[in-house]
Amino acid sequence: MKIMVAMSGGVDSSMVAKLLKDSGHEVIGCYMKLHAKPGYHEENIRKVEKVGKFLGIETKVLDLQNEFNKLVYEPFVNIYKSGKTPNPCALCNRLIKLGKLLEFALTLGCEKLATGHYVRVENGLLKKAFDESKDQSYFLANIDKKALEYMIFPLGEMLKSDVKKLANQFPELIEIAGQRESSEICFVPNSYIEILQKHYNTDLPGVVRDTSGKEVGKHNGYMHYTIGKRRGFSVDGAHEPHYVVKIDASKNEIVVGDKDELKEDEFETENFNKFANLDDKFECFVKIRYRSEKLKAFVEVINNSAKVKLETPANGIASGQLAVFYDEDERVLASGFIS
């Protein structure tokens, strides 16, 4: 089978290419240039080409900087400006990696696209990875269901530690196996606020209110805050920690409360993305951000949106983040962006 492998220069995608080549497939490696970070691409392309030479496979570079800027970077900035908390990786996986790259693979006659994501597929549904600590089903839950038909995730049944051990058996892969992993957003070097400061004046002091609407302090500009943040603003006479519970971008105001006021048991989602055949009302488990625990939920689907009622209240439900709905077998049923 002719398979394209999305290669980043990291150990995971390099081992995917090796595993597929060793299984007898015709493999093409492809590196995506997504953003203009100085020196970033040159070093990664060197590693991809080194692995390609070792495996005896063709490697390509696909420049998607314009598409990435339009489909991921600009929405990232605009969503923050609107007072919400964006999830750029969910957008990138749908529109770029399993969108534009998949289109490119198919034009080259590839039957499948493989990536180094830690996730499984079961009965046409994404499923939590065998290595729970590396599971990436959450970040892939926004992809188009049709794209899943073309995808292969060879690392879904493997432990990350075993992937590294395998790579270390080959001198050509030792450098890649030993490099430090990045868990940050690829185009954000330090803090998201540095990105926003390139486009807006983020330092616009404003009013802090409590949940009753009373003015209780000052803040440094609403773009400095996300739901759940507890520092960087003043609350007059406060002896207990206060948390951001709401952001009003139009008024440059933030609303703060105590930990109990941060808890919510209801929210709505938009851009509802189904993988399974679901009734209009169903029970499931939901994750409201990547590292959150799964919570029992009751969901009502209305057209392209959903109303979600949690069995137990959760902290920090943030507009703009992805809510991912799982069944009891850890399979992804659907997803939607919190509105």
Q: Is 11 annotated as a binding residue?
A: yes
Tokens of 43: 């070093």
Counting Cβ atoms within 10 Å, is residue 53 exposed (0-12), middle (13-18) or buried (19+)?
exposed
Catalytic entry in 30, 92, 110, 284:
92
Q: Is 13 annotated as a binding residue?
A: yes
Q: Is 10 annotated as a binding residue?
A: yes
Q: Is 9 annotated as a binding residue?
A: yes
CA distance 311 to 317: 14
3-state secondary structure (DSSP) of residue 136: coil
> Hey, what amino acid is at 136?
Q
Q: What is the 3-state secondary structure (H, E, C) of 235-300?
A: CCCCCCCCEEEEEECCCCEEEEECHHHHEEEEEEEEEEEECCCCCCEEEEEEECCCCCCCEEEEEE
For 330, how many CA atoms within 13 A lie in the half-sphere containing its CB?
Answer: 13
Tokens 């209780």 -> residue? 216
Give the burial string for 243-261 (b: 16+ CB within 10 Å, else e). Answer: bbbebeeeebbbbbbeeee
User: Could you confirm whether 89 is annotated as catalytic?
Assistant: no
- Residue 64 DSSP class: -
Rg (CA), the chain: 22
Q: Is 52 annotated as a binding residue?
A: no
Which residues lie across from 209 on neighbouring strands?
Answer: 215, 255
Q: Is 6 annotated as a binding residue?
A: yes
User: Could you confirm whether 284 is annotated as catalytic?
Assistant: no
Q: Is 7 annotated as a binding residue?
A: yes
Catalytic entry in 30, 89, 110, 186:
186
- Residue 233 DSSP class: B
Instruction: Report the binding-site residues.
Output: 6-13, 32, 116
Catalytic positions, written as ranges: 92, 186
Instruction: Report the binding-site residues for ATP.
Output: 6-13, 32, 116
